Amino acid sequence: MSEFQGQVAVVTGAAGNLGTALCRRLAEAGASIALLDRDAEAMAQQQAQLPQATDAASFTVDLLDPASVQGTVEAVHKRFGRIDLLANVAGGFAMGPPLDETDDATWDLMLDLNARSVFHMARAVLPLMRAAGYGRIVNVAARAALQGQGNMGPYCASKAAVVSLTESLAAETKALDINVNCILPGTVDTPQNRAAMPDKDHDSWVPTDALADVMLFLASPAARCVSGAAVPVYGRS
- Domains of the chain (ranges; CATH) run 8-233 (3.40.50.720)
Confidence of residue 1 (pLDDT cuts 50, 70, 90): low
Average pLDDT of the segment spanning 13-26: 97
Q: Alpha-carbon torsion 138, 142, 148, 153, what sign?
A: negative
Is the pLDDT at 160 greater than 80? The verdict is yes
Position with higher pLDDT, 82 vs 206: 82
- pLDDT tens track for 190-212: 778 778 788 887 788 789 999 99
> What is the length of the chain?
237
Asked whether 10 and 32 are in contact (CB, 8 A), the reply is no
Confidence of residue 39 (pLDDT cuts 50, 70, 90): very high
- 3-class DSSP assignment, residue 13: coil
Helix, strand, coil: what percent of the chain each, to 5?
Answer: 50, 20, 35
Q: What is the pLDDT of residue 82?
A: 98
155 counts as catalytic: yes
Among the residue ranges 33-47, 157-171, 196-210, the one predicted with the least confidence is 196-210
Average pLDDT of the segment spanning 149-156: 95
E strand or H helix at 60: strand 56-60
Longest dimension (CA), the chain: 53
CA dihedral 211, 213, 216, 222 (to 10 degrees): -120
Nearest alpha-carbon partner for 87 in 29, 40, 45: 29
Is the pLDDT at 74 greater than 80? The verdict is yes
Confidence of residue 189 (pLDDT cuts 50, 70, 90): low
Residue 72, C-beta contacts closer than 8 angstroms, at least 6 positions apart: 36, 59, 60, 61, 124
Q: What is the pLDDT of residue 205?
A: 79
Is the pLDDT at 179 greater than 80? The verdict is yes
Catalytic residue among 155, 211, 227, 233: 155
Asked whether 181 and 231 are in contact (CB, 8 A), the reply is yes
